[in-house]
Amino acid sequence: MEFPASELPHVVALLTSSAYPDIQKAAICKYFTPDAAFRHPLCAVDSAPNSRQKILGIYRWYRVFASRVDIQVYSVVFDQAKHLAYCDVFQDLYYRGSPFGPRSTHLTVRLHLRKGEDGLYYIASQHDLYQPDEIAALAFPPLAPLLYLLLRLSTYFCIWGAYIGGALGLWSLGVGRMERRGKLFVDGEQMEFDDTRQFAQDLVTPTQPSFTFNDGFGSAAPQAPVTFERPYRTDEDNWIERPYIARANVAPSVEHPGGSPSHSDKYREYSVLQQHVLFWDRDSDGIIWPTDTFVGFRDLGFNVAFSLLSTFIINFFFSLPTRLPYSYIPDPFFRIYVPTIHKAKHGSNSGVYDTEGRFIPSRFEDLFAKYATPVSSTQPGDTISLRELLRLVRGDRLVADPYGWGAALFEWGSTWLLLQKDGKVHKEDLRKLYDGSIFFEIRAMRKDGRGWDKGWGIGGDGFLGGEKVLPFGL
């Protein structure tokens, strides 16, 4: 071959799809060196004098059990300096006597080429690289689904093994002696340990969007990679005056510095956390009965089963903390007291509410800076997906706080069920959830017949996707 990158697809076709055995043999003799080697998951030929005759036998066997072989070479990469070529190959094998259709497999072929005295390239070794399930489909098709399942189970085994190993200090950040660490080579040169850390930092730092990283604040440390992964937002004060100061009765954001004016003006005597739960105080007496919780969830469109579950969780766990400022005797009716709702603030939370129930704008903005996918390097994300919400819950977890973990998972899960649109929760909807104004909006839309076209479920309020197509809700 004079130009392997362009000629190899034709060579592969001659080797596998030839119409006559003589053509196949001629291709082996023309393109392979006499001492060529061959590796396949099911067979191997070592380099030896005239070893290409054994390779010919393997290729002939392909055509013995497969009456037809269709080959497509999608791409070829040739490294001229190292005399290596890689072919991305898809093949369909038609087994003789099989009542089923062709067996389709995908493989990568690694070829080591040798330049002859005539200046042409010859194949010195061939290594066929199959995935385990692909080779199972080729050799014993009924085994392929089982192997596919085993590979997925093995993935979870690796993940849990990594967690356990990290917990034992076997492979975690900053743990281990120098000789236990792998060597890092860049452009053929081994980097020293300090260079390796700098190299890792350089990989992370340029990807940080400009609205979250400012060297003047020193908000990220090289020895703490998590500070690069979850950066602060540092430009909120361009829109919100002193965003780090908690607001007692308004929930502002960069997009809405005034919060929800009509809502906050109406309930200005209440903290933002109290405003968040006022929707369930139906008679405005400062007490939320279990029946209030159930009716409130039904008004938001949740089904009976989820509303009952939510009523049990919320009133059972939040009643006592809000009752203690009044009495050490638990409330026999599991009522929740609005004036002391801040006492129900649990651990492992986002920190958007402070311990007195005020709203901290900078913490709300940081939530999206840390976990939402940015729109660009200068514009933060304004939506957050379920996967990102789960990362948020995981990132906020505190040690020895199973109650807080469960509460956060329930709250964020319910939020996603209520607010998601096309798999994402929008920032403005989440802001209005914090101050509770969106609950009143949802109830109003459901009562006037428009329905709530967000949230999860098929047919909720008659919506399938974003279109109201059913005359009823499910």
Dist. CA 239–CA 254, nearest whole Å = 6
Domain boundaries for CATH 3.10.450.50 within the chain: 4-139
Which pLDDT score is estimated for 215? 46
pLDDT tens digits in sequence order for the chain, 474 residues long: 999 999 999 999 999 988 899 999 999 999 999 999 999 988 999 999 999 999 999 999 988 988 889 999 999 999 999 999 999 999 988 888 877 778 888 899 999 999 999 999 999 999 999 988 788 777 777 777 888 888 889 998 998 888 888 777 776 655 444 444 556 565 566 665 555 555 555 655 545 565 655 546 678 888 888 988 898 898 999 999 999 999 999 999 999 999 999 999 999 999 999 999 999 999 999 999 999 999 999 999 898 999 999 999 999 999 999 999 999 999 999 999 999 999 999 999 999 999 999 999 999 999 999 999 998 877 889 999 999 999 999 999 999 999 999 999 999 999 999 999 988 999 999 999 999 999 999 999 999 888 888 887 554 566 555 556 666 555
Dist. CA 432–CA 354, nearest whole Å = 17
pTM for the structure as a whole: 0.61
Dist. CA 6–CA 466, nearest whole Å = 50
The DSSP string of 323-377 is HTTT-SSPPTT--EEGGGGGGG--SSS-SSB-TTS-B-HHHHHHHHHHHSPPSSS
Compute, in degrees rounded to 10, the torsion defined by CA atoms 48, 52, 56, 62: 70
CATH number 3.10.450.50 is the correct assignment for the domain at 4-139: yes
Dist. CA 432–CA 302, nearest whole Å = 19
Which pLDDT score is estimated for 218? 76
For 356-393, letters b (16+ CB in 10 Å) and e give: ebbbbbbbbbbbbbbbbebeeeeebbbbbbbebbebbb
